[in-house]
Structure formats: structure tokens, C-alpha cells
Structure 1
Amino acid sequence: MRPYQYYRPRNLKEAIDIVSSEESARFIAGGTNLVDLMKRGIAIPEKLVDINHLPLKKIEQKAGILRIGALALNSEVAENKIVKAKYPLLVQALNAGASGQIRNMATVGGNLLQRTRCTYFYDTAFACNKRKNDTGCSALGGINNMHAIFGLNEKQNEDSCIAVNPSDLNVALAALDAVILVMGMKGERRIAFKDFHRLPGERPDLDTNLERGELILGVELSMENLSKHSHYLKVRDRAAYAFAIVSAAVALDIDQGTIKAARLALGGVAHKPWRLYEGEKMLVGQPVSDSVFKQVAEISMLDARSFEHNAFKMKLVPNVIVEALKIAAGRP
């Protein structure tokens, strides 16, 4: 790891000013991802701006909105009474991610910014457009069993990067239509979760649509009737600490056997958390039934395409969608 300067800003403005004005400066909170990247020489910040003491840890409910501060620890969010009562989907996703030790250090804001775990991104001996743009994507012709099958319709996306977003929390937040609150040199702004992360395009090295120096303040969730019928299903190589091969976040509003509203999102399948909007539309107004769930899974796969080593996902993903829907709807 290369030497760096450490800063402890007095307030939000000072923290944002430093990172906005200096290209090599980075915010650091729990550091569970950033420090790993620094050790491997992938991230080489010259200045680390410690934000842990800033007032961004609260979890509070106001006027039908739940706000989770960016510095709230994953373990604290998962144990919060309001979150457990209103958003069990969020709790399941958080508890499925990482180890207990990491959840006690990792923050919500850091989780939103978590970088891919693609083997070629972490190994500097291989070309990687996400690590350094315009160098190539080694995963395209390499071992790509953990890689994307969605978001590849445009040749620009396929050729540049097929890595996936690794966060479990992000999949649940995508399904719950979260809003991200950020602050930068231009002031505060709100970003719909669907617009927060990017597909690779011409800049696969950029994971989000944050502007330079913008700091995540927190996440907002509306209090909708989606707590009773929800489930986060994660398929991985082992039950212990492992990233998802495929995951699904499902939240349903069911009234007398009929689905009134539905949210579906997948993880481990795209460069960003992947919402299944067409599948959601198809579910609304339908009875809870295995046949409907299978049709939704089939429709959701229409835009998917695989590579040499991840073709198994073409069968696994629809099975995961059906199973997650069945569990959420209370059908064993």
C-alpha cells in the first residue's frame, strides 16, 4: 500500500471541499472495500478524508419516510426496530451479505459504492476497462461464470465490461425504489435509485452517476404496504461469506389472493442491480399462482444473453425468480 495523507474534516462542507478540489482525495468510512483496493494497488488515493464523525448515522422515520444515514452500520440497520418491522426485505439482504465482522464495520453509503468482485478487476496482470478504461475486458474471453447476462443489448456495454454489482443491499434498495440523498459543491440533490448506478457504456470505470466530490448523506424509503410479502433469495457457492451467483429481491402487496403491487430486482446478473419492470407489470392484477410466476420468469429472461462459462444462469435465474416469488407469497 502506498503512503497517503489522512484528514479529519470539521464538517460536511470541509469534507466535500477537499474531495471536490483534489482528484486523488477519497472519502473513507468503514473502509471494508476501499482498503482492500488500496492494498492491491487498484485504488491509490493520496488523501483519505475520514467522515466517520460526521452526523450521518441516524435511522429515523418522518412523515411516512424512513431515512437511513449513510454512516449507519449494516449491522445497526439490520437490528433497527423500524427497519425490521417495515422492511424485512432489507434486513434479509443485509444479513445475507458479508460476515458479521464486516457488517459491524461496513456502512450503508459504502455499500452503495461497493466495487465489483470480478477476478480480472482485482488482478492487475489482466486488462480491465473498469480498472483502467480502454485497456480491454479480460472476462469476455476468460472465466466468466460470475458475470453479467443482462444489460448487454448495446454492443458498447458488452464490449466494455461484463462485471456485476456485488452488493446484496443494493438489490433490495432497487426493489424498494429507494432515493439516494447526496451533497456536493452545488448543494444537495436526490437521485432515484434506478439512476444511481450505471451500465458500462463508454466509461465502465465509473460505477455511479455521482459527480466529483459528492458525498452520500443517506437513503430514503417510503412506507408502502410491502412488508408482509417479501423475500431476499441468494444463491451462492457456499453458505458462509460469499458473493451472489444470482440473487432476487421480491416485495408483493397481496389482497385476498390477488397481487396489487409487485417489485422484483436481481443481483449477480448485471453491471447494476437489475429491476424486472415487465415482470412487475405482469404480476399486477394476477392471482398468486405458480403458473403466473413461471410466465413472469420467462418474460424476464427475454433480454438475457450468456457467455461461455455462465450459460447456466439462463436456467438458474428463472428458477430463482419463481422460488423467490413463491416464498414471498407464502407458497412453500
Structure 2
Amino acid sequence: MIIDTLSDLDPQPFDALDPSIGTAGTHSRLLGLERDTRWTTRYSVVHDTEGIAAATPIYLCGASRWLDPAYDPAVWASGREASETWQPRRTVVLAGRADLRSSLHVAPRARTPWVLRALLQDAADVAGVQHVAIPYIFDHDRRFLNIYAGPALRWRQLGAEASFYPPFADLTRLPSKIRSVLKRDLAAIRRHEVVSRVDDWTNRRPEELEADVYLIAAHKARFGLPDHPELVALRMSHWTRVSHVQPLVFHARTAHIEGVLTALLWSNELELHELGLSGEPSRERQAVYAELVFHAPMRFAASHGLTRIRAGLEASTAKYVRGATLAPVFTAVTTMDALLDATRS
């Protein structure tokens, strides 16, 4: 069954299908993404005797170029034909198109060949295009697809999401190698007299928000990622409308360096989002970075009884040596005919 909007489904059963990707996979977040009219959104829904068993997002982009380079399948695909083959209007995107995390939203009990065939047939009926991209999925979805459609899929790992779990800031309960790295951080933070705080994003004054978003946009530009302060503000404003999400902003500073980090508090998780740092590379700047990205969020998580910090795909090594667990994130490209043939065999 194909539906046009998630408003046709109750949030609680939908969110229970696959909570593994956190805020990015919630009913409220995906419903908000439907407001972007540059995309056509549909959902393939399967029911069984226990209720809703699957609700896979199906996206078609109406633009002439991919709106976010991170979601351009030509970057993932190999071969000379990639750029021309993977045009937005010739490609259906399954599972997700934002937040660098996606889910097929299939309940564990429903990971069967007939459910996968039903989802893919719905996608073929909706899209009417030949090429398929399945971006930023985790291993449980990759294994589901590989069991029943593996020969049709070309896979690439796009990174690994870093997550921190308790005991967070309790150095006495951490392995010695991790403890040693964190102690060096703390010594540098003290030496450079880094001070930090965390604020509710929605309580910031306009001039404070302006300074925060400018710092984030400037930081990205320094790394060759064009951005604009208004776009940073727009992205955070979207999260203020997502149910049960509290947008936060961490601040850290010394006499010479300013830093900000946006974050989302949802359920028992803290999700780190966008970073902004002033100044040129230096040990002082590194100390501000360590406080902002590791130590301030860890103290916050510990004091609020959280069970996970999601720290994104970037700087995996720096996060791993500080105790993060890394979960690989994959993408697949294929054709619709190949997918359907594979599930029939």
C-alpha cells in the first residue's frame, strides 16, 4: 500500500518499527521533511496480523541537480557513466534523504522476502525511474537487503557513526588508553582556561543566535563547505518543530578562541550536530575543541542520566581513541529491474 504522507499513520507504531537511527527516523522529523516541495514523498506501507510492519520512505527529487552533495549517488557509484546516470529525475531514493542516517523502517518480525518485494514493487510503481539509491543505512538494513537482493546491489561504506555510552565522564571506569587521552584533554583544557556552558537554543537572544550561526557557517567555509548563517538557522528552526526534541547549543571559549556546537536532546540520547570554531589551528584551539565535542557533552549526558551520545560521522579516529563505538554506515546503488529480479529468484 502506498500513502502520500505520514500524517496517515499513528506516530507511536511508526516510531516503534526501527528506533535505531534516533531523531532522524522519527515520525515527526520525517513529517516535517515533507514540507520541502522540491521532493515528492511517498511511503510503502505493509501491515500484518500485528499491525504496521513496514513503512519505507520513497523520495523523488524534482531538481535538476542534487540539493545536497552528500546525497549525490554519482559520488558513491563507480564508472565513467556515474554523473549522467545518477541524475535526480532519473533516480528514486529509498529510506532517507537527510541527516546522514536512514532506515527502511521495517520491523524485525517483517524482514522477509515478501515484505521486501512489496516495498520494492511500490517504489517501482511510484517512481517510474530505473535507478535506485539507498543512502546512509546501518548494518541491520544492509544485511536485510543482502539476504534477499544482494547480487543486485553495489555497496560502499560512507563512514561510521560514533557513539559514546556510559560511564561517559567517569574516568575511573574507562580503559587505561582511553583514560590517558581524556586526561591529556583535561590538562589542556585547564592550562588554556577553557570555560563552557550549555543553553537552550530557543532561549537565545537574536544577537546571540546570529553570532552562533555565523561561527558555524564560517567554520564550514574554512573546510571548503560553502554555507550561510541563514541556512544554519533554518536547519535548527526545523528541529524546534520536531516533537520531543530539545535543541541545545554548547559554548566554549578562552581569551582568544570561541566555539559553538549545536545538539539535540531526544529521549535518552544527546545528538551532536554542527560545530563552529574561531581562530587558526593551535593547541589552544584544540583544547576548546576537546571541551566542546567531548567533555562538555559527556558531563551533560552523565548529569541528565542519558544512555547515548551520537557524535556523527566526522573525525572518527579522534572519537574512537576517546572511547566511542563506531557503527558503519553504508549506501547501495542499483537499478529497479535488478532489484526486483533479485527478490524474485
| TM, length-normalised to structure 2 | 0.26
Pair member with larger Rg: 2
Structure of greater relative contact order (alpha carbons < 8 Å, 6+ residues apart)? 2
Q: Relative to total residues, which structure has the larger helix share, 1 or 2?
A: 2
Q: Relative to total residues, which structure has the larger strand share, 1 or 2?
A: 2
